[in-house]
Structure 1
């Protein structure tokens, strides 16, 4: 049985690499990208079942990246991670454009991340 593929996008390389390591030892096949643009390119090159992305990144934030990736991979499940209040307005804008995403608050416990990805 193939492992579910997960793309992790975070401009903090330590966080992205840590999430990838945790996911890879937990039954997933995870890859890291360190910007929204890099994540979008990886999505063009590889199919992913899941996207885990930080929200606050520049120049392309995680919500913009998630929208573009969802356009490429309509069945990709998106889980956003944020530790700022700015996320509310960004999520509202995405919702107004027809996109709804799950969100986990920072700091994210690796167990909570794995449980969120395994939920149906």
Structure 2
């Protein structure tokens, strides 16, 4: 019996979409994640996030909550319509989002919320711990 060449298994690099209307934050987080070996893309609005997710199918979306026309919760809800297994981390520096979060939790409780700013080491560890969990 002849066996063909062995093909090494290449680990799948998680695709991460970082969403924040503060460009410096989105760009910085994406750069940090890229330096840690992830495929990360920064976008700057909820609308851009939906378009980018449809194009690139991220495994994880990290999003600010309060942004322009479409907030992070609305963007994630739209993304989950076509990527239901996409993992979500939301963050905000605004204390006045309690009602918005309560409404979102009634619809979907499969996201986590963190205070902004989030330390890069904490963010990387959160993503790594999600990589180790079965999806």
Give the TM-score of the pair, scaled to structure 2: 0.84
Which has the bigger relative contact order, CA under 8 A and spacing at least 6? 1
Unaligned runs of 5+ in 2: 1-10
- Alpha-carbon distance in 1 for matches of 2:83, 2:98: 24
Extract structure 1 runs of 4+ deviating beyond 6 A: none
Residue 51 of structure 1 aligns to a residue in which SS?
strand
Residue 86 of structure 1 aligns to a residue in which SS?
helix
Mapping of residues 51-70 of structure 1, within 5 Å: 51-70=61-80
Structure of higher CA gyration radius: 2
Does structure 2 retain, via aligned residues, the 8 Å contact 1:8–1:31?
Answer: yes
In the alignment, structure 1 residue 10 sits paired with structure 2 residue 23: no
Change (3 A) 1:98 1:81: closer
Mapping of residues 29-48 of structure 1, within 5 Å: 29-48=39-58
Does structure 2 retain, via aligned residues, the 8 Å contact 1:36–1:60?
Answer: yes
Question: 1:36 offset after TM fit, Å?
Answer: 0.3
Give the TM-score of the pair, scaled to structure 1: 0.94
Unaligned runs of 5+ in 1: none
Question: 1:99 offset after TM fit, Å?
Answer: 4.2
Give the aligned length. Answer: 120
- Alpha-carbon distance in 2 for matches of 1:76, 1:58: 23
- Alpha-carbon distance in 1 for matches of 2:109, 2:83: 13
Question: 1:85 offset after TM fit, Å?
Answer: 1.9
Match of 2:101 among 91, 116, 120: 91
Residue 95 of structure 2 aligns to a residue in which SS?
coil
